[in-house]
Every structure is written in structure tokens, then in C-alpha cells.
Amino acid sequence: LGATDLVVTASRTRAGRTLFLPGGWVEPSAPWIPLEQWKAPMHGLLADRVPLLGVLVPTEPPADLYRRAWRRITDGDVPRFGELELRRRGRRS
């Protein structure tokens, strides 16, 4: 996978690995492990970064999880880096 554009090689806080899906990185507090932002909804991670069930695990059987992930990808919701929005400041005279 490392030789493809499906993943990126990087260093991320508390990861313990070097290959990641492109995109944001969610860091819930310990004891939960960080993960890619794209994966968070499939693991029951709420917006305030507290796992829905108190544990950070998939919330559905693996076959359903893979089907949902594939559906997201075929619908165009692929793991990717977001657009960086910058506000331009006016020039001072």
C-alpha cells in the first residue's frame, strides 16, 4: 500500500504506525487510540471525541462495515485532505 496513493506515509501522534488514510487525524483522550478522521463515524466517535459506546470499536459487524466504507468511496466520500481556507488580508497603504 505504501507505494500507492491510497495511503500516505507520515508520523502522527500516538499512532504506532506510519501508513495512514489521507485526511485529518482525530485524537481522543487516553485510553482511546487516535485514528483517521474518515474512520471516526464508523467507530462511533462523536463530535466531542468521546466514543459512543465507551470503547473505540466498530459499531457494526465487519462485513457491514466494509460494505458501508465501500459505499462511501463509490459515492465520492473518499479519504482525502480537506481544502485549506485562508482569509486574505487587505493590503496596507
Average pLDDT, integer, range 53-81: 88
Instruction: Report, as an integer, the average pLDDT of 19-45.
Output: 87
Task: Categorize the per-residue pLDDT at 58 as very low, low, confident or very high, splitting at 50, 70 and 90.
Answer: confident
Q: Which H, E and C letters describe the chain, residue by residue?
A: CCCCCCCEECCCCCCCCCEECCCCEECCCCCCCCEEHHHHHHHCECCCCCECCCCCCCCCCHHHHHHHHHHHHHCCCCCCCCCCCCCCCCCCC
Q: In this predicted model, which residue has the larger pLDDT, 16 or 53?
A: 16
Q: Note the pTM of the prediction, 2 decimals.
A: 0.73
For residue 22, the Cα-to-chain-centroid distance in whole angstroms is 8
> Residue 84 pLDDT more than 70?
no
Identify the pLDDT of residue 41: 85
